[in-house]
Amino acid sequence: MLKIYKKMLTEFKNLPDDSRIWIYQSNRKLTDTEIESINTKTKDFLVQWTAHGKDLEASFEIKYNRFIVIGLNQENASASGCSIDSSVYFIQSLEKEYEIDLMDKMNVTFYNGDFIAHKTLVDFKKMAKARSVSKKTIVFNNLINTKAEYLENWEVPAEDSWHNRFLS
């Protein structure tokens, strides 16, 4: 008999605005081939993702060939410690397979003209001191927690994010 998945993988746009969001930024731009493979692996992971035996309604998107954004509708079931651990292990497996860094929150990603730049926090501070970045520089605030924040406050001027403390 064919197994029917009752797991709740949904389209990202269908997640409610109060859905929990996790953003993982890559330290380099991913190739189209890597994106295709990561898409498949992430779908496979989310289809089996559960919390205390309950299916989790989740989705994801990959933005700008650099960010993996996972969303979870917590109305039906919230992520537990074990389910969050499993998602971290999944992300760590992607890091290892593709030789990328996705977990380091001490890196800064921002627009440098039309391009997306990725720097260590130390280098970003040096750029701020040298005025190579300003309060108007658009940064990616990966510390947001909900889909609404992601849609409204993810790509913001540095003056409107935690990055502001490094700018004069």
Q: Give me the pLDDT at residue 125, please.
A: 93
Q: Are residues 72 and 91 in the same domain?
A: yes
* pLDDT (0 to 100) of residue 70: 96
Residue 57 and residue 18 share a domain: yes
Q: Give, for 147, the enclosing helix (H) or strand (E).
A: helix 147-153
Q: Are residues 161 and 89 in the same domain?
A: no
The answer on 63 and 83 residing in a single domain is: yes
Do residues 56 and 47 make contact, with C-beta atoms less than 8 angstroms apart? no
* Residue where a domain terminates, one of 54, 73, 98: 98
* Pair (18, 94) in one structural domain: yes
The pLDDT tens digits of the residues spanning 130-148 come to: 999 999 999 999 999 999 9
Q: Is residue 1 part of a domain?
A: no
Instruction: Identify the domain containing residue 45 by its residue range.
Output: 8-98
Q: What is the pLDDT of residues 77-117, one digit of tens each?
A: 677 777 788 899 999 999 999 999 999 888 999 999 899 99
Kindly indicate the confidence band of residue 6, based on its pLDDT and cuts at 50, 70 and 90. very low
